[in-house]
Amino acid sequence: MDIKQIFSEKNLKAFIQEMNAQKPDGFLVMNSLSRTEKNGKALDFLDDYERTIEKYFEKLTFGYSSLEREKTQLIFIKETYKIMEKELFLWKSYLSIRADIFLLYLNTEPEKIENAFLSKLDELSGIEDFDNMAFIGHNILDLNKKETRKEYAATYSSAIYQALIDVHYNKLGDHPIELLNDLLKALEEVEKYSESNPYFHHERLMIYRSLADAHNDLANKNIAIEHALEQFNHWEDIKDSQYHSQKAMTLFEQLQINKNFETKPIEAVLKKLHHAYLLDKNHHACEYFTIKYTLHSLKITNFADIQKLLSKYEQLYFELSIEKDELEIVQWVSEMKRALEWKKNQLPSKFITEEYDHMRSLMSRFIDYDSSNENCSKLANAFSLLSKETHDLNLQETYLNQSKKYYEQLLSTKSKSFYDVSNYVTVIKQLIKIKRALAANPHIENYIELILHELENLNNDSNDFSNTIFCAETYLFIFENSSSYKNNNLLDKAEAYYNGGKDLGNDHFTQPYYGLAKIAILRGDLLLSQKILKTCDEIFSNEYHAHEFKECLDDSVFSPLSSFIKSLHSSRQKTIKSLGL
């Protein structure tokens, strides 16, 4: 039997019939399930499917060599996946991708193999499939050729850097240690073929620090942090401020792992960070505040001594930061706030209040400040952020008016980006809410006119989901907050944007459905709103979780349908319970 016969339509159908005979809840049962039910069953079913195919192939490919059997098995898997994907909501599995590779190899003319597989590398780079990329490099491409080797290394590096972004933002999934170790292997692979970056110590430093954090046991934490510190032996320029700041933070992590909070090692870390500031006065203060707030969040017996050290070095850092320009205070406050947000849940409320008071004190000098245009964005953003950290509505209004003023100066002098306009509009929306809270009949028409003017003249990317939803929500906001504009086609405009967002979101986001359901209620069409919410429940519930509609239940506009929403949720919960999953 040749390869073509093995994955002929006749054999595929025979295999599917055999699967149904062996496993009653196979394809036939799958066809009777709803889409969300299929999603939940697919995982269990695929495990059985891939085990069964191995047994099937022992019979089908008897007498073949092991390589031929592997190739034909993978091709067969690929072909049967095509049939399964018509009925099931499936993702690309490792085996399916490997089968893709074999099919491409078998169906490509020899002289076109290299270009075809360099293109395949680009595709695999996008999904960070390091194993299959290495498989192509070692088994198909000629890496003795300089240009091929260069392109292979560049594409592999691109996939690594994409993965490192996830590491940086701590998006490591359910198996962080496995992922990080895979990344280390990937670095070894690309090092063999890269000419421009012979040692990836910056990348290894990040990975080993993440490994130290991911491990639970002390021994492995210490091994990982020691490997991280080894990377500084390969740093090209020890006069680089990043060398000193990164080393300071790595040493600090080592102190935390071993609960060593004596004043001497803490001061060594602070000195190292101070050296980074001396080398580059534009160096960001976030590292210092990370250390400060971490130490404040711990129960340290010698904290009084530590506090003196922190105060001493904070003053040194601050003086160096503003030596060049007073406006560096704005950056200082931004870094301070970012680090405080990160540790907020672990710090005493009294200390947090004191820190925000200090930020407000530092920013007070910039109220009605005569700023050059290039600093407007920085000032506008800082005042907007500060407005969120006080319950005093009058103080909020003061900060938001400052933010509004700087955004208007910024927007008058440059081409308007969506980012700048959306920030400006968000500030005005906050001002409208405060005006309504402070006065029974607030005069907000001027604010509404400003928003409408920006929306009508906005250079919006119609293919961007976030931009589209922002416009929809803003038109809806105006309709809800100003009686003077009720008949201004606002709901029609919001509806058009929400429908655009629904198409762009591919059923991954609830905002378009909530928005359209809300518009239906505002138009008095409760039946249409119920229909939209039912669709939302069908899409965003699954066999294990009933969609909760929390945002809808918290919104007073949905109060006429609150009983309906609760019954929808209750009914879904009963369905899940009946499945016994």
Question: pLDDT tens across 345-384, in order?
Answer: 999 999 999 999 999 999 999 999 988 777 898 899 999 9
d(CA 186, CA 140): 18
- 133 three-state secondary structure: helix
pLDDT in tens, 180-226: 998 999 998 888 888 766 568 888 999 999 999 999 999 999 999 99
Q: So what's the pLDDT on residue 77?
A: 59
Helix (H, G, I), strand (E, B) or coil at 112: helix
**Can you tell me the distance from the alpha carbon of 170 to that of 172, in angstroms, rounded to the nearest whole number?**
6
Q: Which residue has the higher pLDDT, 506 or 106?
A: 506
> Does pLDDT of 88 surpass 90?
no
Q: What is the pLDDT of residue 37?
A: 42
Q: b vs e for 55-69, b when ≥16 Cβ sit within 10 Å of the residue's Cβ? A: ebbeebbeebeeeeb
Out of 97-106, 399-408, 544-553, give the one with best mean pLDDT.
399-408
| Inter-helix orientation angle 286-297/328-343, to 10° | 30
Residues 107-160 pLDDT 10s: 788 889 899 999 999 999 888 888 889 888 887 888 889 899 989 988 988 888
Query: Could you tell me the two tokens for 519?
Result: 């518009």
Reply yes or no on whether the pLDDT at 29 is more than 60.
no
Residue that is written with structure tokens 């990344």 in the block: 183
The three-point CA angle 248-253-257 to 5° equals 150
Phi/psi of residue 348, nearest 5 degrees = -65, 140
Q: Yes or no: say if 6 and 72 are a contact pair by the CB < 8 Å rule.
A: yes
User: Which one-letter DSSP state was computed for residue 323?
Assistant: S
Cβ 491 vs Cβ 476: under 8 Å? yes
In angstroms, rounded to a whole number, what is the distance separating the alpha carbons of residues 70 and 365? 72
**Alpha carbon distance 106, 458 (integer Å):** 51
Q: Mean pLDDT: which of 47-56, 66-75, 243-252, 504-513 is highest? A: 243-252
Burial class for 268, CB neighbours closer than 10 Å (0-12, 13-18, 19+) = middle
Q: Give the separation between CA 306 and CA 381, rounded to whole angstroms.
A: 33
Through-space distance between the first and last CA atoms of the chain, rounded to whole angstroms: 43
In this structure, are residues 204 and 180 in contact, taking their beta carbons and an 8 Å threshold? Answer: no
Across all residues in the chain, what is the average pLDDT?
Answer: 82
* Closest to 445 in 3D by CA, of 482, 472, 471: 482
Residue 242: band (very low, low, confident or very high) from pLDDT cuts 50, 70, 90: confident
What b/e sequence results for 288-325 when a residue is b if at least 16 CB atoms lie within 10 Å of its CB, and e otherwise?
bbbbbbbbbeeebeeeeebeebbeebbebbbebbbeee
Distance (Å, whole) CA 95 – CA 188 = 24
SS (H, E, C) 545-575: CCCCCHHHHCCHHHHHHHHHHHHHHHHHHHH
pLDDT at 538 over 50: yes
- Cα–Cα distance list, 382 to 101, 284, 371, 443, 553 (Å): 51, 15, 14, 26, 33
- Give whole-number Cα distances, 424 to 417, 429, 431, 470, in Å: 11, 9, 11, 12
Helix ranges restricted to H, 412-486: 418-438, 445-456, 465-481
pLDDT band, residue 386 (cuts 50/70/90): very high
Residues 526 and 558: beta-carbon distance below 8 Å: no
Alpha-carbon distance 449 to 455, whole Å?
10
- The pLDDT confidence band at residue 337, using thresholds 50, 70 and 90, is very high
pLDDT for residue 284? 67
Answer positive or negative: Cα dihedral of 506, 511, 516, 520: positive
Residue 3 has pLDDT above 70, yes or no: no
Find the DSSP H helices in 298-438.
303-322, 328-343, 349-363, 376-387, 393-411, 418-438
Q: What single-letter DSSP state applies at residue 236?
A: S
For residue 28, pLDDT beyond 50: no
List Cβ<8 Å contacts ≥24 apart for 406-415. Answer: 406/371, 406/376, 406/377, 406/379, 406/380, 407/376, 407/377, 407/380, 409/371, 409/373, 409/376, 410/373, 410/376, 410/377, 410/380, 413/373, 414/373
What is the distance between the alpha carbons of residues 23 and 17, in angstroms, rounded to a whole number?
Answer: 10
- Measured in whole angstroms, the distance separating CA 195 from the mean position of its chain's CA atoms is 32
**What's the predicted TM-score (pTM) here?**
0.71
Count of alpha carbons within 13 angstroms of residue 254, beta-carbon side: 20
> Nearest 5 degrees, angle CA 101-CA 107-CA 110?
95
What is residue 26's DSSP assignment?
S
What is the four-CA torsion angle of 294, 298, 303, 308, rounded to 10 degrees? 10
Residue 291 makes CB contacts below 8 A (sequence gap 6+) with: 249, 252, 269, 270, 273, 310
Return the closest-CA partner of residue 157 out of 191, 132, 131: 191
The SS3 of residue 175 is: coil
Closest CA to 204 of 248, 262, 250: 250
